[in-house]
C-alpha cells in the first residue's frame, strides 16, 4: 500500500517506544536505577514510592507531550496526504480511490496538474510519443522536466487504447528502493522482450504533471518511493544550555559517586573502629563485616545524594520552554497582518538559543527582499531602457509604456537585436502558458511578462514546439533541446529551429557565466558591462541574454552525441552532458541585460543594524555578486570599507586544505558582517557547517526557499513564511513572516528566554546541591551512615512554584561553577551552624532536621527574591504560596504539639537558628547584590 | 506640534462606508479573516503590570546596617541570657583518676560523689549526657518497630525486620521491645541528696512530662491489656504465644516493670524509655533525666552541698565514651547555648562591617574627584 506514516506511535507501540526514547536520557536512567535501589530494603533510606513519583511524572509529562505532537501534527498531515484522490485501474475500469490505496503494480491515471502519488513507470500519455512534463519544484531547483514512455508501451497503448491493454504488463524488475532521485535502473519484461528502464521513464512521487492531458503509470514504489526515502529524519537539535547542563549532570553524577565512595569508606572505617566497641552498635555491622556494611552504605548514599541530581529540572525545563514558545506565538508584534500569520516556534526546545546567537546566516532573495520581482530596466544593444511595466502588479496586457524609445524601435523594426532579445525572453524559460497561478520562478514570470507587455507573447508550449506571437504574428518554433538551469550552471538555454529553418540557441544566465562564453569582439560588450555595473549599483538583479546561430552540421553532430549519451550510465552521462552543453553554449552573442528589482522588505536595514549592535555577526549568503554587494550597502550590512569574499575562490582552497577553515573563521571573527557571493545551495550548508565547526557561538540561519533547507537544518533555523512559504518553514525551528520580526525574536524573546533559563538553572543547581551536600557534612557526624532527612524532601517541592514565568537577570553558563561553589558554602552553613547550636544539647534529631530544612527554605526564598527584579502578581503569589506551603507541610509532618513540651522554649531556638543560618547562607549573594546596586548606580551617574 | 485632522473628510468617508451594506459586511468579514491573530492581553504580550523595585545605595547600606544591628541585638540578648544560665556538669565515667566517681567503672554497685551547687534561679533540670555515642547512626535509628511500639499485639510476636538482629533471640523468641535503640536504653539511675547539717536529705525529682507530648500521647501506646503484664506473657491477650516473649537482651527487667513506683509509667510510655527512643542529632548529646521537683523547690535548687548516688549499669568505656550528669536551669532560649549568641554577634558585626565597606565604595564612586 501507499500509506505514509510519519507518525511514530500507535496505541500498542506508544508505551515501549516512549520509554525507550526517554531512557536514553542519562538522568532518567539514573533515576530508574535509584528507584531499583530503593526497593532493596538493606540499603533504602527513603521509601521507594518517593522516588517513583518524580520519575513517573516526568515520564508521563514528556510522553504525553510527544504523543500530542504526534497526534496533532503528524497524523493530521499524514491523513491529509493519504486521503488525496487518484484514479486506479480496478478490474478494467478506473475508479477514484485514495492515495493510500495505491499498491505496487496498480495502473494509475494521472490528470493534468495532479500530484503523482507514487513512483510510477510511465506507460503512455495523451501527448505524442507519450511525452509528459513534470514539475519537480518540490524536489530540486529545476522546474520542468519531461518524461517519455518506452516506445513499446506507447505503441501498444496508442494502437490499442483500452483498459485491458493497460493491465497487461506483467513483470517489471526494479532495483532496491533507494533515495537516489536521479537514477533508476530496471527492466520491463513483456512479450518475451526485455526492455531496459531508466529515470526517463519514471514519474516520481510528489512531482506534478503539467502540460499533459493525462498519463498512465504503473506503480513501482509506493511507500518506498524515492522522495520518502530521501526525506531524512530531522536531526534532534540540542541547545548549548542543554549541553552545559548535561555536562553539569555528568559532573554531579561523578561527584555523587565519589562522595558516596568516600563516605562509604568512612563508614567502613567507622564500623571497624567505633562500632565494634559500642555494644549498642556492634551488632548492626551487617554480618559482622565492615566492608560489606560499607558496600551497602555506598548504595544508600547514592540514593540519598540523588536529590542533587536535578531530575525535576527536566520537567521544568520543558515547562519553561513550552511557555516561552507560546509567548513567541502570542506576540502581536510578530504577527503579520497581511498574511494572517503569527510567528511560530516549531521546535519548542531551542528558545534560549535565541538569546545566544552569535552568527546569523541569511539568505538574500526572499529573506532580505520581498521576492516580488519587478522588471525595471533593460539594456539592449548597449542602450538602456527604463521600464516600469510592473508598477501595477495586476497590470496584465495594460499598455503602459515608459520606454517609448524602445517601443518605437520595436515597431519600426529597426533593431534586430532588440527583436531577438524579446524573442529570447519569450522562448528561453520553463514557464507553462496554462499556469493560472504564479510561475515557479518569479524571475521568469517577470521576464516573460515583460516580453508579453512589449508584444512578444508566449502562447503555448508542447514537447516539440513553442508558439509565440511576435508583434501580432504567430510563430512556431521547433524546440530542439532544453539545456536546464541548475544552480551549478547558473544558466539555461533553448535550442530552437526558427520557422524560417535556421537553428538558434537562446541563452540566459548570470552575468559572469554568460560573459565568459561570448564570442570575441561582441558588439556593445563594453557598454553592456557598464550597464551591468549600473544595474547592480541600483540593487537590481541582472541576467544576461545571449543568442547563437547554430550551423546545421554542428547541430547534427551535437545531437548525435546527445542521443548516444542517453544510453550511458548516469554518472558518466552527467559529465558528458555538461561537456556537451558547454560546447553548445559558446560563441554567444550578447543581446542584452535585464534588470529586475527585488525590493528590500520593510525594516531590513534597521534590523540588521540593530542585530549588529547586539553583537551578532551577520552573514549573507547569496548566489550573485554585484547585486548582493549593493543590497548589502543598502541594508547597512556593508560600509564602504568592507571587503568582499568570493566563495568560489575560497571553496577550492578549503577543499584542499581544511585547516584553512579555521584561519578563515578567525579572520571573520573581526568582521561584523560577511557577504558570501556566488554560493550554491549546497555551499550554503557547507558554510553554515564551517561556521558551526569553528566557533562555539550559536549559529542561526534564516531562509525562505527550498534551496535554503539544508542551511536551515543546520542549527537554529528560521523559515520565512512570506509569499512562498512551504519547504523552508517545514524544516525550520521557528517560522516568521518578515525579516524584521527577527529583532523581537532574538533581542526580546531570545534574551528573556536565555536569562530566565540560565538563572533558573543556576538557582536550581544551587538549591539541590546545597541540600544534598548537607547530607555529606552530616555524614561526618553520624558515622557515615546515610542519614535520612525527611523534611528536606518537603522543601524540595517548592522551587517548582517559584519558576512559572519569572523574569530573571542575566547570567552565563560559566557562572554555573560559581553557583556550585556557592552551593557548597551554603551547605556548609546549613549544617555547621545548627551543628554548633545543637552540639551537646538535649535537642533531638528531628528538631535539627526541621531547623536545617527551615533554614534552607528561607535561603531559597531569599535567593529567589534577590533574583527577581520584576515583580508581577504571579511572582509574588508563587513566593508566598511556596513559603506558606512549606510551613503547612512542616506543621503536618512535625506537629505543632512537638513544640509544647520539654523544654518548652525550644521553638525560639529553632527559629533563631534557622534565621541565622539562612542569613549567613545568603550573605555572599546579598552582599554581591548590594555592591551591584551601588556600582550600577555609579554607572548611571556617568 | 499641530496635528491637523481632516475631520470632515474622514467622517464623510466613514459615513459613506457605513451606508454601503456590502462594504460593512466586508469589514466584518475582514475582521473574521484574521483567525490566527494572537490575543491581545497583558499576559500573552508579556505586559503584566509589574513592580520593579529600584534599589539605591540609600536603601541598601542602611538596610545592611539595620540588619546587622538587629543581629547584634539578638546576639547580645542571647549571649547575656546564656551567660545567666547556670550549668553544673560532672563527668562520672570513672575511668580517669581525679574525676568525680573515679572508680565508679570498676564497681558496678552504687557509687556516689558530692558537689556544691550555687543558688539557682528558676527551675533546675537534671540531664544525663553521653559523648561519642552515635544515636544518629542510620541503621541504629531505624532499628525499631513502630507498630509494635504503638501497642499492636500482632507485632509482639512477629517484630519487623528493621529490628534485626534484635528481633529474635537465639531461641527464636521475639524480643519486645525489639531493636537496637530499645536494647541499648540508658539504665543508670540517680538519686540526689542535699547534705544539710550533716544529714542527707533526698531531693525529690519529678520524672513526669519529660518526654515529648507527641511521643507520649500519639506515637507510643501500650496494649490495652490490664494488667499490662498480660500482653507480654500471653495470658488474656487473645494470642497464642508459641514462644514466650523475652526482654531486650541488655535489659534486666521487663518493659512492664520499668517503674515500680508508678504503674502507669510502664511499658512503652515510660518517660525514660520515650526520652531514650527520641534519638539525638549528634554524637555528643544530653537527655533530660528529671526535673527538680517544683513542688518542693519552687525557687530552684538552694545553694549547698549535694551528693549524687549513682547506680552504675551503663558501660561506655569500651567505645571510649563519656558519661556525665548535668544540672542546668533554663531560660526563654532553652539551655545554655553560647554558640548561637556568638554566631549572631559575628554575623551581625559582619553585616555592619560590610555596610561600612559599601559606604566607602559608594563614596569613592560618587565623589571620585575629591579623591
DSSP secondary structure letters along A541-553:
EEEEEEEEEEPHH
A338 reaches B (C-beta below 8 A): no
Distance CA A190, CA A188 (A): 6
Give the 3-state secondary structure of residue A285.
coil
Window 229-258 of B, Cβ < 8 Å to A = 250
Question: What integer pLDDT is reported at residue B368 of this predicted model?
Answer: 63
Is the per-residue pLDDT at B252 higher than 50? Answer: yes
Question: What integer pLDDT is reported at residue B68 of this predicted model?
Answer: 93
Q: Who among B38, B50, B282 is closest to A870 (CB)?
A: B50
A897/B214 touch (CB, cutoff 8 Å), yes or no = yes
Give the CA diameter of chain A: 123
Query: Which element (helix H / strand E) includes A313?
Result: helix A312-330
Q: What is the CA radius of gyration of chain A?
A: 36
| Domains of chain A and any CATH numbers | 1-92 (no CATH), 104-221 (no CATH), 329-368+600-649+660-752 (3.40.50.1000), 371-549+579-599 (3.40.1110.10), 817-941 (no CATH)
**Residue A86 burial (CB count, 10 A):** 25
Dump pLDDT digits (tens) for A723-761: 554 567 777 788 888 888 887 787 777 777 777 777 777
- Cβ proximity of A468 and A459 under 8 Å: yes
Q: Who among A280, A340, A905 is closest to B140 (CB)?
A: A280
A923/B351 touch (CB, cutoff 8 Å), yes or no = yes
Distance CA A831, CA A827 (A): 6
Give the 3-state secondary structure of residue A470.
strand
Residues of A classed as catalytic = 363
Question: What integer pLDDT is reported at residue A711 of this predicted model?
Answer: 77
A897/B74 touch (CB, cutoff 8 Å), yes or no = no
Question: What integer pLDDT is reported at residue B346 of this predicted model?
Answer: 93
A903/B334 touch (CB, cutoff 8 Å), yes or no = yes
Distance CA A649, CA A921 (A): 60
Window 5-44 of B, Cβ < 8 Å to A = 33-40, 44
Please list the ranges in chain A whose pLDDT falls under 50: 141, 232, 390-401, 435-438, 725, 782-811, 895-905, 939-942
Interface predicted TM-score (ipTM): 0.79
Binding site, annotated residues of A for Mg(2+): 363, 365, 704, 708
Q: What's the CA angle centered on A725, arms A722 and A728, to 5 degrees?
A: 115
Q: Who among A332, A847, A898 is closest to B45 (CB)?
A: A332
User: A526: Cβ–Cβ under 8 A, 6 or more apart, which residues?
Assistant: none
Dump pLDDT digits (tens) for B58-71: 888 888 899 999 99
* Across A201-210, A528-537, B5-14, B333-342, least confident range: B5-14
* Mean pLDDT value across chain B: 77
Question: What integer pLDDT is reported at residue B28 of this predicted model?
Answer: 41
Which of A266, A270, A325, A841 is the best substitution to test chain B (most B C-beta atoms within 10 A)?
Answer: A841
Question: What integer pLDDT is reported at residue B67 of this predicted model?
Answer: 92
A126 reaches B (C-beta below 8 A): no
Give the 3-state secondary structure of residue A669.
coil
Domain boundaries, chain B: 4-32, 60-85+331-371, 104-116+135-279+304-322
B180 exposure class (CB count in 10 Å sphere: 0-12, 13-18, 19+): buried
Sheet holding A617-621, edge to edge: A344-345, A734-736, A716-720, A698-703, A357-363, A617-621, A673-677, A645-646
Rounded to a whole number, what is the distance in Å from the CA of B252 to chain A's nearest CA?
Answer: 15
A236 exposure class (CB count in 10 Å sphere: 0-12, 13-18, 19+): exposed
Q: Who among A785, A848, A938 is closest to B281 (CB)?
A: A848
Binding site, annotated residues of A for ATP: 363-365, 444, 485, 508, 541, 622-624, 678, 684, 707-708
Q: Strand A193-197 relative to strand A93-98: parallel, antiparallel, unpaired?
A: unpaired
User: A870: Cβ–Cβ under 8 A, 6 or more apart, which residues?
Assistant: A806, A807, B50, B51, B52
On chain A, the residues whose CB falls within 8 A of the CB of B139 are 284, 785
Dump pLDDT digits (tens) for A297-344: 788 777 777 666 666 667 677 777 877 888 888 888 788 887 777 888
Give the 3-state secondary structure of residue B307.
strand
The three three-digit cell numbers of residue B203, written as one number = 531531693
A898/B212 touch (CB, cutoff 8 Å), yes or no = yes
The three three-digit cell numbers of residue A160, written as one number = 490499442
B330 reaches A (C-beta below 8 A): yes
User: A771: Cβ–Cβ under 8 A, 6 or more apart, which residues?
Assistant: A307, A308, A792, A795, A796, A827, A830, A856
B199 exposure class (CB count in 10 Å sphere: 0-12, 13-18, 19+): exposed
Question: What integer pLDDT is reported at residue A942 of this predicted model?
Answer: 39
B353 reaches A (C-beta below 8 A): no
pTM for the structure as a whole: 0.67
DSSP string, A642-659: ---EEHHHHHHHHHH-TT
On chain B, the residues whose CB falls within 8 A of the CB of A41 are 161
Which of B321, B334, B335, B363 is the best substitution to test chain A (most A C-beta atoms within 10 A)?
Answer: B334
Amino acid at each position: 500500500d501507499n500509506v505514509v506514516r510519519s507518525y511514530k506511535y500507535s496505541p500498542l507501540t506508544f508505551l515501549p517506544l516512549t520509554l525507550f526514547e526517554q531512557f536514553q536520557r542519562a538522568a532518567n536512567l539514573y533515576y530508574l536505577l535509584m528507584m531499583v535501589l530503593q526497593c532493596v530494603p538493606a540499603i533504602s533510606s527513603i521509601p521507594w514510592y518517593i522516588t517513583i513519583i518524580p520519575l513517573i511524572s516526568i515520564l508521563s509529562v514528556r510522553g504525553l507531550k510527544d504523543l500530542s505532537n504526534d497526534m496533532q501534527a503528524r497524523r493530521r498531515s499524514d491523513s491529509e496526504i493519504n486521503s488525496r484522490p487518484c484514479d486506479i485501474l480496478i478490474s478494467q475500469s478506473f475508479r477514484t480511490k485514495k492515495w493510500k490505496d495505491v499498491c505496487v503494480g496498480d495502473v494509475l491515471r494521472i490528470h493534468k496538474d495532479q500530484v503523482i502519488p507514487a513512483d510510477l513507470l510511465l506507460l503512455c500519455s495523451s501527448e505524442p510519443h507519450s511525452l509528459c512534463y513534470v514539475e519537480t519544484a518540490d524536489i530540486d531547483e529545476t522546474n520542468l522536466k519531461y518524461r517519455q514512455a518506452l516506445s513499446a508501451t506507447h505503441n501498444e497503448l496508442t494502437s490499442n487504447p483500452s483498459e485491458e491493454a493497460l493491465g497487461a504488463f506483467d513483470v517489471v524488475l526494479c532495483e532496491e528502493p533507494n533515495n537516489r532521485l536521479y537514477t533508476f535502473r530496471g527492466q520491463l519484461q513483456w512479450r518475451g522482450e526485455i526492455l531496459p528502464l531508466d529515470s526517463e521513464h519514471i514519474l516520481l512521487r510528489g512531482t506534478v504533471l503539467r502540460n499533459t492531458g493525462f498519463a498512465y503509470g504503473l506503480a513501482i514504489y509506493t511507500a518506498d518511493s524515492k522522495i520518502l526515502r530521501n526525506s531524512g529524519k530531522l536531526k534532534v537539535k540540542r541547545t548549548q544550555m542543554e549541553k552545559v547542563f548535561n555536562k553539569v549532570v555528568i559532573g554531579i553524577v561523578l561527584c555523587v559517586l565519589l562522595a558516596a565512595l568516600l563516605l562509604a569508606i568512612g563508614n567502613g572505617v567507622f564500623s571497624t573502629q567505633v562500632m565494634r566497641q559500642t555494644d549498642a552498635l556492634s551488632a548492626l555491622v551487617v554480618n559482622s563485616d565492615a566492608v560489606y556494611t560499607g558496600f551497602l552504605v555506598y548504595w544508600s548514599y547514592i540514593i540519598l545524594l540523588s536529590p542533587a541530581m536535578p531530575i525535576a529540572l527536566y520537567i521544568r525545563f520543558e515547562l519553561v520552554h513550552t511557555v516561552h514558545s507560546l509567548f513567541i506565538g502570542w506576540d502581536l508584534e510578530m504577527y503579520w497582518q497581511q498574511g494572517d500569520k503569527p510567528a511560530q516556534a516549531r521546535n519548542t526546545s531551542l528558545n534560549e538559543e535565541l538569546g545566544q546567537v552569535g552568527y546569523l546566516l541569511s539568505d538574500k532573495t526572499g529573506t532580505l527582499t520581498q521576492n516580488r520581482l519587478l522588471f525595471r530596466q533593460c539594456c539592449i544593444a548597449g542602450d538602456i531602457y527604463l521600464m516600469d511595466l510592473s508598477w501595477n502588479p495586476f497590470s496584465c496586457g495594460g499598455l503602459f509604456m515608459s520606454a517609448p524609445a524602445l517601443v518605437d524601435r520595436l515597431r519600426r523594426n529597426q533593431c534586430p537585436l532588440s527583436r531577438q532579445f524579446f524573442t529570447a525572453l519569450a522562448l528561453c524559460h520553463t514557464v507553462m502558458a496554462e499556469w493560472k497561478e504564479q510561475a515557479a520562478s518569479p524571475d521568469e514570470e517577470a521576464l516573460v511578462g515583460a516580453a508579453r507587455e512589449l508584444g512578444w507573447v508566449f502562447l503555448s508550449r508542447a514537447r516539440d514546439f513553442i508558439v509565440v506571437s511576435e508583434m501580432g504574428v504567430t510563430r512556431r518554433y521547433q524546440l530542439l533541446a532544453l539545456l536546464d538551469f541548475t544552480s551549478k550552471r547558473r544558466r539555461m538555454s533553448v535550442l530552437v529551429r526558427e520557422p524560417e529553418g535556421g537553428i538558434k540557441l537562446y541563452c540566459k544566465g548570470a552575468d559572469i557565466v554568460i560573459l565568459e562564453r561570448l564570442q570575441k569582439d561582441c558588439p556593445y560588450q563594453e557598454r553592456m558591462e557598464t550597464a551591468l555595473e549600473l544595474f547592480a549599483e541600483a540593487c537590481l538583479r541582472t541576467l544576461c541574454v545571449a543568442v547563437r546561430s547554430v550551423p546545421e552540421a554542428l547541430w547534427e553532430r551535437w545531437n548525435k552525441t546527445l542521443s548516444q549519451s542517453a544510453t550511458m550510465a548516469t554518472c558518466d552521462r552527467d559529465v558528458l552532458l555538461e561537456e556537451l552543453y558547454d560546447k553548445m553554449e559558446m560563441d554567444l552573442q550578447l543581446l542584452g541585460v535585464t534588470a529586475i528589482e527585488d525590493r528590500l522588505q520593510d525594516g531590513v536595514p534597521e534590523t540588521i543594524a540593530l542585530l549588529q549592535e547586539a553583537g551578532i555577526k551577520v552573514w549573507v549568503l547569496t548566489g550573485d555578486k554585484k547585486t548582493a554587494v549593493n543590497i548589502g550597502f543598502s541594508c547597512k550590512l556593508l560600509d564602504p570599507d568592507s571587503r568582499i569574499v568570493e566563495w568560489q575562490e575560497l571553496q577550492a582552497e578549503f577543499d584542499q586544505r581544511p585547516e584553512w577553515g579555521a584561519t578563515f573563521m578567525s579572520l571573520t571573527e573581526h568582521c561584523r558582517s560577511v557577504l558570501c557571493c556566488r554560493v550554491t545551495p549546497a555551499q550554503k550548508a557547507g558554510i553554515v557547517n564551517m561556521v558551526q565547526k569553528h566557533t562555539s557561538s550559536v549559529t542561526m540561519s534564516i531562509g525562505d526557499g527550498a534551496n535554503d533547507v539544508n542551511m536551515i537544518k543546520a542549527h537554529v533555523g528560521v523559515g520565512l513564511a512570506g509569499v512562498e512559504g512551504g519547504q523552508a518553514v517545514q524544516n525550520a525551528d521557528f517560522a516568521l513572516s518578515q525579516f524584521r520580526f527577527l529583532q523581537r525574536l532574538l533581542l526580546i524573546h531570545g534574551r528573556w528566554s536565555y536569562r530566565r533559563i540560565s538563572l533558573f538553572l543556576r538557582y536550581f543547581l544551587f538549591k539541590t546541591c546545597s541540600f544534598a551536600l548537607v547530607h555529606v557534612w552530616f555524614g561526618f557526624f553520624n558515622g557515615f551512615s546515610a542519614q535520612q532527612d525527611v523534611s528536606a524532601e518537603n522543601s524540595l517541592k517548592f522551587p517548582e512554584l517559584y519558576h512559572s514565568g519569572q523574569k530573571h537577570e542575566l547570567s552565563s553558563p560559566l557562572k554555573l561553577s560559581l553557583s556550585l561553589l556557592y552551593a557548597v558554602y551554603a551547605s556548609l552553613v546549613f549544617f555547621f551552624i545548627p551543628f554548633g547550636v545543637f552540639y551537646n544539647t538535649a535537642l533531638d534529631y528531628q528538631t535539627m532536621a526541621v531547623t536545617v530544612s527551615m533554614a534552607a527554605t528561607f535561603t531559597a526564598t531569599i535567593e529567589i527574591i534577590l533574583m527577581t527584579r520584576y515583580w508581577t502578581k504571579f511572582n509574588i503569589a508563587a513566593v508566598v504560596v511556596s513559603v506558606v506551603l512549606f510551613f503547612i507541610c512542616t506543621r503536618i509532618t512535625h506537629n505543632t504539639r512537638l513544640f509544647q513540651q520539654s523544654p518548652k522554649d525550644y521553638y525560639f531556638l529553632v527559629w533563631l537558628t534557622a534565621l541565622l543560618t539562612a542569613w549567613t547562607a545568603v550573605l555572599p549573594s546579598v552582599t554581591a547584590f548590594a555592591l551591584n546596586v551601588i556600582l550600577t548606580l555609579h554607572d548611571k551617574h556617568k | 506640534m499641530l496635528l491637523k485632522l481632516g475631520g470632515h473628510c474622514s467622517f464623510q468617508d466613514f459615513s459613506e462606508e457605513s451606508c454601503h451594506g456590502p462594504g460593512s459586511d466586508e469589514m466584518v468579514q475582514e475582521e473574521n479573516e484574521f483567525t490566527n491573530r494572537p490575543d491581545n492581553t497583558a499576559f500573552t504580550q508579556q505586559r503584566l503590570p509589574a513592580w520593579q523595585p529600584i534599589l539605591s545605595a540609600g536603601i541598601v547600606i542602611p538596610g545592611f546596617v539595620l540588619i546587622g544591628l538587629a543581629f547584634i541585638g539578638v546576639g547580645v540578648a542571647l549571649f547575656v541570657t546564656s551567660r545567666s544560665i547556670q550549668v553544673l556538669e560532672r563527668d562520672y565515667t570513672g575511668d580517669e583518676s581525679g574525676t568525680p566517681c573515679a572508680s565508679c567503672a570498676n564497681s558496678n554497685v552504687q557509687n556516689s560523689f558530692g558537689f556544691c551547687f550555687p543558688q539557682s534561679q528558676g527551675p533546675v533540670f537534671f540531664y544525663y549526657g553521653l559523648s561519642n555515642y552515635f544515636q544518629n547512626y542510620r541503621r541504629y535509628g531505624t532499628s525499631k518497630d513502630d507498630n509494635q511500639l504503638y501497642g499492636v499485639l500482632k507485632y509482639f510476636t512477629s517484630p519487623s525486620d528493621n529490628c534485626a538482629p534484635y528481633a529474635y533471640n537465639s531461641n527464636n523468641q521475639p524480643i519486645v521491645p525489639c531493636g537496637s535503640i530499645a536494647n541499648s536504653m540508658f539504665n543508670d539511675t540517680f538519686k540526689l541528696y542535699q547534705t544539710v547539717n550533716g544529714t542527707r536529705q533526698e531531693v525529690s525529682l519529678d520524672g513526669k512530662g519529660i518526654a515529648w507530648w507527641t511521643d507520649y500521647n500519639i506515637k507510643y501506646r501500650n496494649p490495652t491489656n490490664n494488667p499490662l503484664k498480660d500482653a507480654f506473657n500471653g495470658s488474656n491477650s487473645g494470642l497464642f504465644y508459641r514462644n514466650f516473649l523475652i526482654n531486650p537482651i541488655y535489659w534486666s527487667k521487663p518493659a512492664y516493670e520499668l517503674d515500680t513506683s508508678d504503674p502507669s509509667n510502664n511499658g512503652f510510655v515510660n518517660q525514660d524509655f520515650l526520652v531514650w527512643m527520641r534519638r539525638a542529632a549528634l554524637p555528643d548529646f544530653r537527655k533530660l533525666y528529671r526535673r527538680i521537683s517544683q513542688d518542693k523547690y519552687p525557687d530552684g535548687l538552694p545553694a549547698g552541698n549535694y551528693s549524687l548516688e549513682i547506680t552504675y549499669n551503663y558501660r561506655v568505656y569500651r567505645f571510649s565514651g563519656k558519661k556525665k550528669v548535668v544540672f542546668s536551669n533554663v531560660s526563654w532560649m532553652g539551655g545554655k547555648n553560647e554558640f548561637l549568641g556568638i554566631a549572631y554577634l559575628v554575623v551581625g558585626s559582619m553585616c555592619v562591617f560590610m555596610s561600612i565597606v559599601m559606604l566607602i565604595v559608594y563614596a569613592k564612586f560618587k565623589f571620585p574627584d575629591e579623591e
